[in-house]
Amino acid sequence: MTTTHFWRSAIDPLRVMSARVLHWEEEQPQQREEALAVEEPLEVRLNQRSLAVIMRTPGHDRELAVGFLFNEGLLRSPQEVLQVTEAVDADGLPLPNVIEVTRRAEGSPVEQATAACQATFERHFAVSSSCGLCGKNSIADLLTSIAPLEPDGLRIRASVLYTLPERLRAAQALFSHTGGLHAAALFSREGDLLLLREDVGRHNAVDKLVGFGLLQNSFPYREHILMVSGRTSFEIIQKALYARIPCVAAISAPSSLAVELAEQAGITLIGFLRGHSMNVYTHPERLLSAS
Extents of the domains making up the chain: 6-37, 40-137, 156-288
Query: pTM, whole model, 2 decimals?
Result: 0.86
The whole-number pLDDT of residue 22 equals 85
Secondary structure element (H or E) that encloses residue 248, with its range: strand 247-250
Q: Choose, from 117, 131, 134, 247, the residue flagged as catalytic.
A: 131
Catalytic-residue membership of 117: no
Confidence band of 106 (pLDDT split at 50, 70, 90) = low
CB-CB contact of 272 with 280 (8 Å): no
pLDDT of 223 over the 80 cut:
yes
The whole-number pLDDT of residue 120 equals 43
Q: What is the mean pLDDT of residues 21-32?
A: 90
Q: What is the mean pLDDT of residues 158-162?
A: 97
Domain 156-288 grouped into CATH 3.40.140.10: yes
Domain 40-137 grouped into CATH 3.10.20.10: yes
DSSP 58: S
Buried b (16+ CB within 10 A) or exposed e, 78-112: bebbeebeebeeeeeeeeebbbbbebeeeeeebee
Query: 58-88, pLDDT tens digit by residue?
Result: 999 999 999 999 999 899 889 999 999 999 8
- Residue 265 phi/psi, 5-degree rounding, is -85, -5
Length of the chain: 291
Q: Tell which residue, 105, 112, 97, 99, has the closest CA to residue 68.
A: 99
For residue 139, how many other CB atoms are within 10 A of its CB? 18
The whole-number pLDDT of residue 151 equals 85
Q: 61-71 and 234-242 helices cross at what angle (nearest 10)?
A: 90
Worst-scoring range by mean pLDDT, 53-57, 87-91, 251-255?
Answer: 87-91
> Which of the two residues, 122 and 48, has the higher pLDDT score?
48
